[in-house]
Each structure stands twice: as structure tokens, then as C-alpha cells.
Amino acid sequence: MSSTDRGAGPKRLVVLISGSGTNLQTLIDATRQGSINGRIVAVISNKPGVRGLERAQSADIPALTVDHRDFQRREDFDAALAEQIESHRADLVILAGFMRILTPGFVNRFAGRMMNIHPSLLPRYPGLDTHRRAIDAGDREAGATVHFVTEELDGGPAIVQARVPIHPDDTPATLAARVLEKEHLIYPYAVKLFCEGRLGLTGQGATLDGTLLPRTGLAYLDP
């Protein structure tokens, strides 16, 4: 049985965050409106007191903190995190501004059922400071990518990607705001596809309805 065919009911979603949680909010809204056949069963932050936890609480979603500073070894933090995720019987783990690098053991445990959003046109600019790097390189376009998480940092197969123009007077902050608007469209879209059982992860890449997606994922066009 693959990760995407565990019965037809709503999928159980666990969202991992580290901060403000605007992407989390769009997922809360989309699940509430019924446009995603899934339910967020827990939100977990590695940092206490962040805004995203308040968003979860306001929506009556269990909001937990697994503070990475309480663990000496990365493996121990990941084990505690995995235990929480499993205890909520997650079908899908959604990284939404989660700023910790995960160990290979953790990543492999959730292979094909963990996704991340990254604020660049992957494979360009994995890692941090993506907007400044795109501006400094003289790029004309930036964007965001939802991808399956694999051992390679920001390197897993892309699911969907949206593009925005870079304007001559852009700063990293103005560009980030333009990209974030797209993030708020493509993340609910990717999660919706997953919850419909339409996405898969194979050795060759991500699939939609069994067909291999291009390396940069589906090109998201505004509705």
C-alpha cells in the first residue's frame, strides 16, 4: 500500500513550523473551507511562543512545541519529533517555514509523505537568503517551489512551482512579499493534490496521477 492510498477519508495532516505561520494559516483556511480533503491534526513548532502556534490554537488545533534546544543531539530531537508525528497518525507531514535540518533517518521514515515549501525557483538557490541571492544574480524572475523532502536539502523532487517577476527596484523584502503571495496559493494546491491521492514519489521523481512531473514540478498558473 502506498502512502497515498490509506483509505478515502480525509487525510491527517501534521504541520511543522518555526515562526509566523502564514503558510499554515492558508492551510488552516483551505481545510476549513473544505477545499482540501484533509484535517490538520497537530501543529508542531521547534520554537516556543511563535505566532504560528497561536494561529493553531485560535483554530482549535493541538499546538505543540518540541524545542530543539532541549536535545543535545539532532537524532534525539528528530526522534522526539517523529514520535509526536506518529502519535497523531499523520498521513502527510507539511514543513511550513520549519527551520531545522532533518536527519536522513527522519526524512526516510516519512519518505513520500513529507513536503516542504521553499522560496525560490528550485533547483536555483537552495538554502537561506534566496531573495537577496536572486536579486544579486540579476535574475528577472523568482518564485516558490513545493517539493517532496528527501535527504538532499531543498533538493527533493518538485511538485509545483510558481514564478513572479523581479522588479529593478526590488529589495529582498519586497520580493519576499511577492513570492509569499504565491506560496499561499501553491501550498494548499499541492496539499489538495496529495489528499486526493494524486501525488507520488518514485526513484525518478514526483508523479501526478502516475505520470512523472518535470524537474521543476507543475507550473502554477493563477486561476
Q: Which residues bind ligand GRF (CB under 6 A)?
A: 17, 19-24, 52, 96-97, 117-119, 180, 183
Nearest approach, Cβ of residue 121 and ligand GRF (Å): 12
Residue nearest to ligand GRF (CB): 97
Nearest approach, Cβ of residue 187 and ligand GRF (Å): 8
Nearest approach, Cβ of residue 122 and ligand GRF (Å): 11
Nearer to ligand GRF, 55 or 200 (CB): 55
Q: Is 49 left (phi over 0), alpha (psi -120 to 50) or beta?
A: left
**Quick check: 62 and 43 in contact, CB under 8 A?**
yes
Write out the H or E segment, with its range, that includes residue 142.
strand 141-148
Which residues belong to the active site? 118
What the block records as the C-alpha cell of 164 is 513572479
User: Is 218 in a helix, a strand, or coil?
Assistant: strand
Nearer to ligand GRF, 119 or 157 (CB): 119
Distance between CA atoms of residues 106 and 84, nearest Å: 12
> 92: which strand partners?
13
Nearest approach, Cβ of residue 56 and ligand GRF (Å): 12
Nearer to ligand GRF, 78 or 183 (CB): 183
Distance between CA atoms of residues 175 and 132, nearest Å: 9
56's CB contacts (< 8 A; 6+ apart) are: 15, 21, 24, 28, 40, 43, 62, 63
DSSP state of 214: P
Nearest approach, Cβ of residue 184 and ligand GRF (Å): 8
Nearer to ligand GRF, 40 or 117 (CB): 117
Nearer to ligand GRF, 96 or 213 (CB): 96
Closest CA to 42 of 34, 27, 33, 30: 27
